[in-house]
Amino acid sequence: MKTVIRTNNLSKVYKDAAAPVHALKNVSLEFIQGEFTAIVGPSGSGKTTFLNVIGGLDKPTEGSVVIDGVDIATLKESQLFDFRLRHIGFVFQSYNLIPVLTATENVSFIMLLQKQPKKEMERRAKEMLEQVGLSDKLDVRPGKLSGGQQQRVAVARALASKPDFVLADEPTANLDTESAFNLLDIMARLNKEENITLIFSTHDQRVIERASRVITLVDGAVAKDEAFDR
219 binds other proteins per the rule CB under 8 A:
no
76: which residues sit within 8 A by CB, 6+ positions away? none
94 binds other proteins per the rule CB under 8 A:
yes
What are 50-54's contacts with CB under 8 Å, separation 24+?
50/10, 50/24, 50/201, 50/217, 51/167, 51/169, 51/199, 51/201, 52/169, 53/7, 53/10, 53/12, 53/24, 54/5, 54/7, 54/167, 54/199
What is d(CA 65, CA 148) in angstroms, rounded to the nearest whole number? 32
**Closer residue to other proteins, CB minimum distance, 163 or 197:** 163
If you count DSSP H runs as helices and E runs as strands, how many of each does the chain have, helices first?
7, 10
52 binds other proteins per the rule CB under 8 A:
yes
Partner in contact with 46, chosen from ligand ADP, Mg ion, other proteins, none, beta carbon below 5 to 8 Å by kind: ligand ADP
The identity of residue 50, as a single letter, is F
Site for other proteins, residues 124 to 183, rule: CB under 8 A: 157, 169-170, 173
Where does this chain bind ligand ADP (CB under 6 A)?
14, 16-17, 21, 23, 41, 43-49
Question: Residue 55 CB, nearest distance to other proteins (Å)?
Answer: 7
Alpha helices in the chain (DSSP H): 47-54, 77-87, 103-113, 118-131, 147-160, 177-194, 205-208
Return the range that interacts with other proteins (CB under 8 A); candidates 23-31, 53-61, 130-138, 208-216.
Answer: 53-61
Question: Residue 39 CB, nearest distance to Mg ion (Å)?
Answer: 10
Task: Report the Cα 89 to chain-centroid distance in Å.
Answer: 6
Question: Residue 135 CB, nearest distance to ligand ADP (Å)?
Answer: 33
Site for Mg ion, residues 10 to 49, rule: CB under 5 A: 48
Which of 13, 21, 75, 112 is in the footprint of other proteins by CB under 8 A?
112
User: Binding residues for other proteins, how many (CB under 8 A)?
Assistant: 31
Return the range that interacts with other proteins (CB under 8 A); candidates 2-10, 78-86, 209-217, 220-228.
Answer: 78-86
Strands 213-218, 221-227: pairing is antiparallel
Question: Residue 178 CB, nearest distance to other proteins (Å)?
Answer: 22
Task: Report the Cα 8 to chain-centroid distance in Å.
Answer: 20
Q: Which residues bind other proteins (CB under 8 A)?
A: 48, 52, 55, 57-58, 78, 81-82, 84-86, 88, 90, 92-96, 98-101, 105, 109-110, 112-113, 157, 169-170, 173
